[in-house]
Amino acid sequence: MKKHNYSAGPCILPQEVFEKASQAVLNFNNSGLSILEISHRSKDFVAVMDEARALVLELLGLEGKGYQALFLQGGASMEFLRVPNNLLKINGKATYLDTGTWASAAIKEAKSFGETVIVASSKESNYTLIPTDYSIPSDADYFHCTSNNTIFGTQIKSFPVTNVPLVCDMSSDIFSRTLDFSKFDLIYAGAQKNMGPAGATLVVIKEEILGKTERNIPNILNYEQHIAKESMYNTPPVFAVYTSLLTLQWLKNKGGITAIEKENEAKAALLYAEIDRNPLFNGVVNTKDRSIMNATFTLKNTEHQETFDTMWKAAGISGLNGHRSVGGYRASMYNALPIESVQVLVDVMKELEKKFS
C-alpha cells in the first residue's frame, strides 16, 4: 500500500531523491566508494558542497547580493545560540517575536548573552495567532522571528519592515513560498523539512552584519570562521548535504520556488476547505494565520477519535497525530507531498462524516 507521509520532520522527500541518494550510498559518482565513506576533502564532495551552496542562493534570488550559504551541524537549535553570539553586542539588545515553542527556545538561549526583549507574544492565546501590533526598537542589534510554527500551525504572512538586521528561523517553510529574501539578513533552517535528512542546518547570511559584536566568539560558533572555511571548518554532514543538493536540484527542475508555491497553496486550500466544511472537525488557529505547511485540527467529539485513527491508518496515512504537547492532528504538507495524498486524507474525513452524520 502506498504511504502518505504527513510527518512533521524528518519528513517526506521526493522519490527521485531517495533513489539517487540510495545509489550514492552504494557507489558515488562511479568512484567505487559510498557517499558515506568518501573524504569530505575529496574533489567529488567539494563539488557537492560548492554546488549546494550556490544553488541555495540561486533559488532564493540572493546571488551577487553579499550573502553566503553555509551547511552546518547542530540543528536549528544550535542557531538559537549562534545568532546572539554573532549579532548581539556586549551591552547591546536583541529583540524577538514569540510565536511558539521554537521561538521561545530561541529567546531562552539569547537571554544568556544579554538583554533580550520580547516585542510581542501569542502565548496567552496558546500560540493560535501571529501578533501584529508591535514595534521594533531602532537601537536593537537584531530582530528575530520564526516564519512557520510547526507545532501550532501558524505562519507569518507579512514580515515587519525594520532598520535593524532581520533574522528568521525558516526551518519548516524554507523554499516553500516566494518572498523577497533580500529583506532578511540571516536565515536558518534545519534540513529535515524541505531539504534533506536530519543532520544539517542551512544558514544564509549577509556578510556585512558580521564582526560587530566585539565578542570573543568560539570558532565553532563563529559564522565568519565557517564562511572563511567554505562550510568545511570541521567535517560537514556529508550525506545530509548531498541529499539536500539532490532536493534543491529537484526543486529547480520543477520551476523553483514559484512553481512549488502553487502546489503548496493548492494542497493547503484543499485540506482547509474540508476542515471548515466538515461538521466533525475544528481548525485550531486563526484563519488568516494558517500555515500552508502544517495544518492543525481537532475532532469536535473525541468519541470519534478511535474510529478516525483506524480509518486514516488503514488508508496508508502516516504521521498525522498532533505534537505531543498539544494533541489533535497535524497534517504536514511539505514540498514533496503530492496533492493526491491530501485528497486521500480529505476522503477519509468525508467518510467519517458519513458514519456519524
Contact 192, 198 (CB under 8 A): yes
Q: How far apart are the first and last CA of the chain?
A: 29
Task: Give me the torsion for CA of 251, 255, 258, 262, rounded to 10°.
Answer: -90
Q: Which residue has the cell 488557529?
A: 285
Contact 193, 11 (CB under 8 A): yes
What domains sit in the chain, N to C, each tagged with a CATH number? Answer: 15-254 (3.40.640.10), 256-356 (3.90.1150.10)
Task: Return the pLDDT at 357.
Answer: 79
Contact 198, 190 (CB under 8 A): yes
Catalytic residues: 102, 169, 193
DSSP character string of 116-181? EEEEEE-GGGTT-S---S----TT-SEEEEESEETTTTEE-SSPPP-SSPEEEE-TTTTTSS---G
- pTM to 2 decimal places: 0.97
Q: How far apart are CA 145 and CA 138, in angstroms?
A: 16
pLDDT in tens, the chain (357 residues): 899 999 999 999 999 999 999 999 999 999 999 999 999 999 999 999 999 999 999 999 999 999 999 999 999 999 999 999 999 999 999 999 999 999 999 999 999 999 999 999 999 999 999 999 999 999 999 999 999 999 999 999 999 999 999 999 999 999 999 999 999 999 999 999 999 999 999 999 999 999 999 999 999 999 999 999 999 999 999 999 999 999 999 999 999 999 999 999 999 999 999 999 999 999 999 999 999 999 999 999 999 999 999 999 999 999 999 988 888 999 999 999 999 999 999 999 999 999 997
C-alpha cell at 346: 480529505
